[in-house]
Amino acid sequence: SFEPLASDFYGFESLVSDREKDALMRVRSYMETTVRPVINDYWERAEFPHELITSFLETDVARYGFEEVRPFENSAVFRGLVAMEMARVDASMATFIGVQEGLAMGSISVCGSAEQRSEWLPKMASGEVIGAFGLTEPLSGSDSARGLRTTATRDGESWTLNGSKRWIGNATFSDITVIWAKDTEDGQVKGFIVRTDSPGYTATKIERKIALRPVQNADITLENVVVPESMRLANANSFRDTAKVLRLTRAAVAWSSVGVSVGAYEAAVAYAKEREQFGKPIAEHQLIQDLLAKCLGNITASMAMCVRVSQMLDEGTQRDEHSALAKGFCTSKMRETVGWAREAMGGNGIVLDYEAARFFADAEALYSYEGTREMNSLIVGRAITGKAAFV
Ligand code: FAD
């Protein structure tokens, strides 16, 4: 049965239906019982828990966003709360879904043909096919709208891809990767579903990360990789179409960042009630209460923003700048919150076993991926002024 989170101070979870609440509880229970007990060890070893993929996807976390595979009709607020629930226990598992469901399935859903959607979405929802999303390159991150160097050259019914990608999540073990490349004929960015066993495709793990260590990010090289026209995303005709995918995933990252804040805050509250200094639990000291109240303020404001940006998606009024504002704002507040939560735990705040440390480190990745704070500000700035400062 549904148990409201103490950290949902204004009761935003009450906005979703009973059926959605039940589904949310399934995700919470899976994350608490299956992921939480093991994830610090995976984090330390920088390994992804492959053996959990099937059971994780059985909670339907990669299904809710797509008509073709969803178990029931649902709201964007509910899907946001699912992202928050996952990240509240572990941001790496949330990121795995963010890539599989948000970026890879999202690209096929938004930019694919009906045939491409019905071919790939069911297999990806169940985990039979793992996907990745290759936009960023070694020489092009924030400027990927125009700076992409990977090329796609058409020759009759097939395309030849050449170039390199960097930071691509899930890509050391993905079966397919959505590769964004510039058409050498019209100069526009197009999307291709690339089978990772294609000759000329290689993916190499990026080692020694200090955030989201279980997430397997890769450098990809594409040397004369041949992709049939049937695997080109039928409705991806320029970067404007890529941006439609990013608008959705940025709102999801905003929700995940609230989850990361909640995870760290909950750890700090529990710790403050146990840890005694000056003869009483530190929770009874005024300045610790102030730190916790500031965390809760950030969480509550960010949740309110996420709820509204999700409602706007369902209302059909959400634009790029709305999700960009939420992504930039909520990840900034997350960074502040995980810092305060860690601070409230003193030295133990930097030890994995006390939980806040993992959220503290992982926050840095969420802050920078899916568009840095600066780039999301510039998208908002363009909406405010009518002038794009980044082209
Ligand atoms: P840069 O673009 O080099 O930026 C460096 C700094 O300069 C930033 O602070 C930036 O805000 C600032 N800057 C740049 N231009 C301007 C400007 N005009 N005005 C002001 N400041 C500016 N990409 C994928 O395609 N697929 C993935 O699955 C994926 N997963 C990722 C997972 C992780 C853990 C990480 C860290 C990254 C991932 N990325 C992925 C890439 C991510 O989206 C990029 O790192 C991000 O867009 C920033 O690009 P960059 O790292 O090249 O930084």
* 353: Cα within 13 Å, side-chain hemisphere: 2
Of the pLDDT bands very low, low, confident and very high (cuts 50, 70, 90), residue 391 is confident
- The pLDDT score that the predictor gives to residue 245 is 97
Rounded Cα distance between 143 and 374, Å, is: 12
Please check the confidence at residue 256 and state whether its pLDDT lies above 80.
yes
Of the pLDDT bands very low, low, confident and very high (cuts 50, 70, 90), residue 290 is very high
Could you tell me the distance, in angstroms and rounded to a whole number, from the CA of residue 137 to the centre of ligand 1?
9
Q: Is the shortest distance between the CB of 153 and ligand 1 below 6 Å?
A: no
Nearest alpha carbon, ligand 1 atom 51: 141
- The pLDDT score that the predictor gives to residue 146 is 86
Could you tell me the distance, in angstroms and rounded to a whole number, from the CA of residue 358 to the centre of ligand 1?
21
Q: What is the pLDDT of residues 159-200, one digit of tens each?
A: 999 999 999 999 999 999 999 999 999 999 999 999 999 999
- The pLDDT score that the predictor gives to residue 1 is 86
- The pLDDT score that the predictor gives to residue 103 is 98
Q: Is the shortest distance between the CB of 164 and ligand 1 below 6 Å?
A: no
Rounded Cα distance between 166 and 44, Å, is: 23
Please check the confidence at residue 135 and state whether its pLDDT lies above 80.
yes
Q: Which of 205, 206, 368 to mutate to test the pocket of ligand 1 (most atoms within 8 A of CB)?
A: 368
pTM comes to 0.98
Nearest alpha carbon, ligand 1 atom 31: 167
Q: Is the shortest distance between the CB of 134 and ligand 1 below 6 Å?
A: yes
**ipTM of the assembly?**
0.99
Burial (CB count <10 Å: 0-12, 13-18, 19+), residue 381: middle
What is the residue-averaged pLDDT of the chain? 98
Please check the confidence at residue 145 and state whether its pLDDT lies above 90.
no
Strand 280-281 relative to strand 217-228, pairing: unpaired
Percent of the chain with pLDDT over 70: 100
